[in-house]
Amino acid sequence: MRFHVVMLPNYVVGVDPPFANYYRELLEQIALAEDLGFDCFWFTEHHFMQYGGPSPNPAALIAAAAARTSRIRLGCSVSVLPLRHPVHIAEDYALADALSGGRLEFGMGVGNNPREYDVFGVDIAEARDRFEEALEVILGAWTHERYSHKGRFWQFDDLTIFPRPIQEPHPPLWIAGLSETSLSRAGQRGYNIMTVAHPRPPAEVRPGVAAWRSNLADAGFSPTDRHCLIHLRAYVDEDARRAGELGQAAIARYNALSRVGLGRPARPDESDWEGMLAAGRNVYGTPKQCVEILRRTMKNFDFDIFGMQFSFGGLPHADVVKSMRLFARAVMPAFG
């Protein structure tokens, strides 16, 4: 099992610090993640809301992180391809790959917030078609010295971008999704995938991953060369009571921001604290308890990378740092 860190900013007004301090603390957490031996640090993309909105351009955060690290890989989870001109995306992430010395992991998706489409003037009914054409443009610009494109949404001739990615033929590609349809498509193309544990029970997540694995094999790709990351929120403390109190409070704030930002109703099981722990969908407790919880995650879900989110729901920076250190010292070795 590998361990990554996932950052989906959920900014709690009146709890989290002003943004200048917030980003300074985030960069400290990235440097710490590298020191502690995590393999990759991921940045999400959202807009116009406290749930994820403080990360509107992962490429910019990757560039800042690249200047403060030297080994840890840096990823976007995900770039919402339909919202921007694909040449802008190709340029931004090629530059991020160059600045990081070839450490970029490129995640892509269609997003999950209709308001983003409204504000940017993009018809959400066209999201899938725009995604497919944007991906074609990005890969074409990355892999050709000169590239022309004549499509439904974008057209140009004889294009060269500077720089092209350091990694050849391009950075590793990832798809975020849940449905069997989207993850089957990812398998057919040999892409890595990302899933999330807490929104849905394992029975709703596993079929999509199984479809991905089946389609990988049918397309001639070795499953050992492709990866599935699962996103989990984690808080570790030596004191079980404090871990429970702070972990539950932070998860509750996270869920509340998600409901408001995405306009979704409360999920019936999101406050079933014992049930979520028993299924391995939330992770908080002492190091020993967290090891047991993650073993339940492994039993109930199908993945090979733990994507741990340590900073969420207004947890103080000092507690996030302590949690990360405890996790690396006393939890990760159990899965080595």
For 14-70, the pLDDT digits (tens) are: 999 999 999 999 999 999 999 999 999 999 999 999 999 999 999 999 999 999 999
At a CB cut-off of 8 Å and minimum separation 6, what does 14 contact? none
CA distances from 121 to 78, 110, 116, 164, 194 (A): 20, 15, 8, 29, 27
| Domains in the chain, CATH or no CATH each | 2-335 (3.20.20.30)
In the prediction, which pLDDT does 154 show?
98
CA distances from 107 to 59, 79, 110, 162 (A): 11, 6, 11, 21
C-alpha to C-alpha distance for 175 and 192, rounded to whole angstroms: 6
With a cut of 90, say whether residue 223 has pLDDT above it.
Answer: no
With a cut of 90, say whether residue 224 has pLDDT above it.
Answer: no
Mean pLDDT estimate for the chain: 97
**Amino acid letter, residue 26:** L
Q: Give SS3 for 13.
A: coil
**φ, ψ at 304 (rounded to 5°):** -135, 0
Q: Which is it for strands 192-196 and 155-159: parallel, antiparallel or unpaired?
A: unpaired
For 163-198, the pLDDT digits (tens) are: 999 999 999 999 999 999 999 999 999 999 999 999
Contact assessment for residue 250 and residue 314, using Cβ atoms and an 8 Å cutoff: yes
With a cut of 90, say whether residue 336 has pLDDT above it.
Answer: no
- Give me the residue label for tokens 């990378």: 305
Interval 279-285 mean pLDDT: 98
For 58-114, the pLDDT digits (tens) are: 999 999 999 999 999 999 999 999 999 999 999 999 999 999 999 999 999 999 899
**Amino acid letter, residue 56:** P
With a cut of 90, say whether residue 137 has pLDDT above it.
Answer: yes
Got the DSSP string for 179-217?
A: SHHHHHHHHHHT-EEEEESSSS-HHHHHHHHHHHHHHHH
Q: What angle do CA 102, 105, 111 make, to 5 degrees?
A: 145
Name the pTM for this structure: 0.97
C-alpha to C-alpha distance for 81 and 76, rounded to whole angstroms: 12
